[in-house]
Amino acid sequence: MVKYIALYRKPADVEAFDEAYFTSHLPLVERTPGLLRAEVAKVSRVFVPGFLGEHEPHLVAEMHFESAEAMKAAFQSPEWQAAGANLTEIGGLELVAMFAAEVVTEVGAR
């Protein structure tokens, strides 16, 4: 399994960003073919500066795919392209760092 992870730093207008992200962006992401599941977490307000420097983290989104090949195919889909265009429209592209990670073990999986 592989995950595509998006780390968002805190936007200037948290309420407006969250409204746009959860009502317009996530529904588009959910339509992506090959997406097994997606999870979004709000970062705790108990923030200790560390490797992110002065950028306060806001959201962590994880999108799970069966394999790297499935993820690459999903990235070519019109649904993923629409989600990317939407992220640009809502100002999220300037707030996010994204990367893929291969899941090598799961501890406490239920």
H-type alpha helices, 14-102 = 14-20, 26-30, 68-75, 78-89
**Residues 15-24 pLDDT 10s:** 999 999 999 9
- Across 17-31, 33-47, 61-75, 85-99, least confident range: 33-47
What radius of gyration, in Å, describes the C-alpha atoms of the chain?
Answer: 14
**Residues 66-84 pLDDT 10s:** 999 999 999 999 999 999 9
Q: Is CATH 3.20.20.140 the right assignment for the domain spanning 2-102?
A: no
Q: What is the pTM of this model?
A: 0.86
Extents of the domains making up the chain: 2-102
